Amino acid sequence: MAFELKMPKLGESVTEGTIGKWLKQPGDKVNKYDLLVEVQTDKVNTEIPSPVAGTLKEVKVEEGQTVPIGTLLAVFDTADGEAAASAPQPAPAQPASRPQQSAAPQAQPGAAQPPKPSQPGGAGTLSGPSATAGRGPSAVEPPSQPSEPSARTSPQPPQSPSAAPQSSAAATATAERPDLSDVRATPAVRKLAGENGIDISEIEGTGLGGRVSRKDVEDFIAQRQSSRQQAATRVVQAQPQAPSQTAPARQAPVPSLSGDELVPLSQMRRAIANNMVQAWSAPHAHAVMEVDVTDLMRYRERVRGEFQEREGFDLSPAAFIAKAVVEALRTVPSVNSSWTDQGLIRHRELNLGYAVALGEDGLIVPVIKDADGKSLAGLMRSIRDVVDRAKARRLTLDDLSGGTFTLNNTGPLGTVVSSPIVPPGQAAILSSESIRKRLVVTDDDAIAIRQMMNIVIGFDHRVVDGSTAARFLTAVRDWLQTTGTSVPVY
């Protein structure tokens, strides 16, 4: 039977993708989870694995073409399809045998008819539609419905278990097999699900755009063994419901002026717009606090030379700020949370999103996983890595998923105070503004020139209150003004 591979969902707000390169050609044998095609989007380049085993029959979209999500990419001949096609072959004999149903029950074992009479009495309305859907290509099926009442009066199903149910089961399995091309997961995660006998389409992913991670699969396995874990997992899985709350905003009237030019929206600009509209479905609040980073910057000057010689790149203030955020999240863990209608999700993992500006092209937020386990040097390496790969458009979908808190380092842009928008699915975001020398009145009433920086927290007021936000900012400030001035680099 032919299996159709469609362009899968490649991100929460990604609407189209460009075919980069076909890794398999028509006629090639393909195993399940083999990588098939490279797809490029406005955010990442990714490789799509095969959701089935079979033979690649036809490629529908050529390399270099850009198509919307859901577009047919390729057609396969699958092993399951061949089995299902061979099982119902006796179907053409059914018209001849149907007139004899009421008088000659012995004629039915030769046809694939007995499962239909058995369904109303056994499986009821659940299996009936599935079997019918499975045999959809057969043009002889519909006439069988009027004859079902007479078939029910004849006790012939016991004669058919040896042959007909097998074709019915194959047809039903073919009909019920989900379109796994819409399920976003890495080949390793798909393999883990397959080894545990799990249909990956039944798992609701908690990653970006519903991406199924290894942890999602492990949680799904655990939930089958414990009803308590099952309830907890469902709470987590309820998180992707937030997009349903987003309503399209009314477009304001646009004046038409002489010399106006319409600039088409890029994929990234549409993605940013959709994410921001979705983000504003949460009630936002902001708080600002000053930080004296004079001593911190002196310490950085002492260690940056050795770091540069050892690592090959500079030790940015961003690494110190990221470390301060990590330590503050340990002190105020309620900020590392997410809102759901069932309750607040307190995240144990600390995955730090780091906003990267791409000039006029837009903005992207890769994620530094397990940020709380990294040293100052480790955070600097991670920041350098995600920034370089973001600008080179070499981020993967995994790089963009799993963030629990976001750092927006706007200092290099020269801003003094900003109002960061909380990313969907998170509780807060911190902006670190530019470091500037200012005249400051010290605690002993002296006037001194100090290097000052503002830190701004934007938070979802459903999750974080003003006092909690202030405690978090205080923790960041205190770390930068005390611990940060002597923290080991490695």
Active site residues: 461, 465
CB distance 183 to 212 below 8 Å: yes
Three-class HEC string of the chain: CEEEEECCCCCCCCCEEEEEEECCCCCCEECCCCEEEEEECCCCEEEEECCCCEEEEEECCCCCCEEECCCEEEEEEEHHHHHHHHCCCCHHHHHHHHHHCCCCHHHHHHCCCCHHHHHHHCCCCCHHHHHHHHCCCCCCCHHHHHHHHHHHCCCCHHHCCCCHHHHHHHHHHHHHCCCHHHCCCCHHHHHHHHHCCCCHHHCCCCCHHHCCCHHHHHHHHHHCCCHHHHHHHHHHHCHHHHHHHCCCCCCCCCCCCCCCCCCCCCHHHHHHHHHHHHHCCCCEEEEEEEEECHHHHHHHHHHHHHHHHHHCCCCCHHHHHHHHHHHHHHHCHHHCEEEECCEEEECCCCCEEECEECHHHCEECCEECCHHHCCHHHHHHHHHHHHHHHHCCCCCHHHHCCCCEEEEECHHHCCCCCCCCCCCCCCEEEEECCCEEEEEECCCCCEEEEEEEEEEEEEECCCCCHHHHHHHHHHHHHHHHCHHHCCCCC
CA separation for the pair 365, 368 (Å, rounded) = 10
Neighbours of 244 (CB within 10 A): 8
